[in-house]
Amino acid sequence: MICVLSHFVDDDIVGAVTSRLHVCLCRNNLPGVRQYLEIFAMQIYLKFPALVEQQLLPIFYNYNMRPQALSSYVFIATNVILHAGDLPMQLKHLHGLLPSIIPFLTSHHHSLRGFTQLLVYHVLCKLWPALGPGTSEVAPLEKKCFEDLKLYLAENPDCVRLRASMEGFLDAFDPVKSATPTGVFNARDEGLEFECVPVSLMEHVITFLNDVRNDLRDSIAKDAMAIKNESITHADSCKDSAELLKANEDGAFPLNRIDFSLDFQKKITVQEYGSADFLGDSEPPKLLLEMEKEDQLLRPVIQSRNQAVQRIKESQQQFIFVASLLDRIPNIAGLARTCEVFKAAGLAVSDASIIHDKQFQLIRIDSNGNTSHQSFISV
């Protein structure tokens, strides 16, 4: 539907439409959803070519944008280049957009880099013959590509971090001196533990990338754990915790009661307490206390799940079926029984007197012998 609506955007609302479109593209959506937004954006920029330079081009110079959003904009830009109205417009978009896309061929993000490589090659295969290699049109384009590439490498956060970690190594490296005995036995860098040789630049880069990858994995794991813990915690559990804390202050419960309730994987061995004299102990057995604590932990989770299911049911829209193409009584009676089973809001029929028909009542009867007609609406 959104792709069809793109044909009805005019000059009066195009600014507001593209503003909301950019917000949607920057959000985290599934690739299938994003493709509809991308097609909508392509239609807008093909219909309004002036917006390409005004809105689309500056986006590629925002090097802090999420890679997922950049992938969408690269897809939009390449299709705008390929499907512009005529060859002069295609070449104009090529000179304007291609230099800003070229730097993403070197992105640290694997998906963005691979996606850009695929699309740029497709564009070059289609339009490179029209440029006339070796002519005066190619030189300015190549110069602009290199300028944008240098700007990207200078300002991209990942590239800045990599250069900072390698600071001083490249400047101090001298290939001529490294070929002399002094350079070979230079102990300026820490050597490898086994080979006792200086650490190479490639090893520095690999170490840096591994550290970044491990940090990213730790961050993702912490986020996933936080989300999982938040799904367990509920407002009712907070209330129960407050009551336990109050009871602890009054001395009614030991302090370790609250701490132990967080132990999800506590192992319980029944045989260990099987011979205990429950009636003779002044305090409840430890096994029973552990079971009570687990019940207290499970109760808020069950309440939270039930409330979530209830909210989903309340937010669901009810259906009203219209039997406009059915004229036979058995078919209408069967549809009415189906509506009751699935709790439809209503069933609209052309003649409400059908509920008094004997054949209809026989089919409509439920397992208890009742026939309810509350779901019917006369049309």
The verdict on residue 171 lying in a domain is no
Last residue of a domain, one of 121, 148, 163: 163
Q: Judge if pTM exceeds 0.75.
A: no
| Residue 217 domain-assigned (yes or no) | no
Same domain as 369, residue 265: no
204 within some domain: no
* Domain region containing 358: 320-378
Structure tokens at 37: 């937004």
Please report the pLDDT score of residue 77 as a whole number: 92
Mark which of 163, 183, 211 sits at the end of a domain. 163
* Residue 128: per-residue pLDDT: 79
Specify the pLDDT at position 360.
79
The CATH number that applies at residue 132 is 1.25.40
Q: State which residues of the chain have pLDDT below 70.
A: 1, 132-137, 167-168, 170-174, 178-179, 183-201, 216, 219-220, 223-224, 227-228, 230-288, 316-317, 325, 364-379
Domain boundary among 128, 163, 198: 163
Same domain, 255 and 368: no
Q: Are residues 82 and 119 in the same domain?
A: yes
123 lies in the same domain as 25: yes
Q: Please check whether residues 129 and 8 belong to one and the same domain.
A: yes
Separation CA 121–CA 117 (nearest Å): 6
Classify residue 184: in a domain, yes or no.
Answer: no
**Domain shared by 352 and 256, yes or no:** no
| Long-range own/partner contacts, residues 269-273 (CB < 8 A, 24 or more apart) | none
Are 11 and 82 within one domain? yes
Instruction: DSSP for 122-173, please give it.
Output: HHHHHHHHHH-TTSTTHHHHHHHHHHHHHHHHHH-HHHHHHHHHTTTHHHH-
Residue-level pLDDT at 85 = 81
Q: Which two tokens stand for residue 277?
A: 């004299």
Q: Are 20 and 157 members of one domain?
A: yes
| pLDDT for res 73 | 92
Q: Is 10 part of any domain?
A: yes
Q: What is the pLDDT of residue 8?
A: 80
- Does residue 225 lie in a domain region? no
15 domain residue, yes or no: yes
Neighbours of 56 (CB within 10 A): 22
Q: What is the pLDDT, as a whole number, of residue 265?
A: 47
- The answer to whether residues 275 and 363 belong to one domain is no
Q: How many domains does the chain have?
A: 3
**Do 148 and 267 sit in the same domain of this protein?**
no
Whether 303 and 346 share a structural domain: no
Q: Does a structural domain hold residue 325?
A: yes
For residue 352, what is the domain's CATH number? 3.40.1280.10
Same domain flag for 309 and 332: no
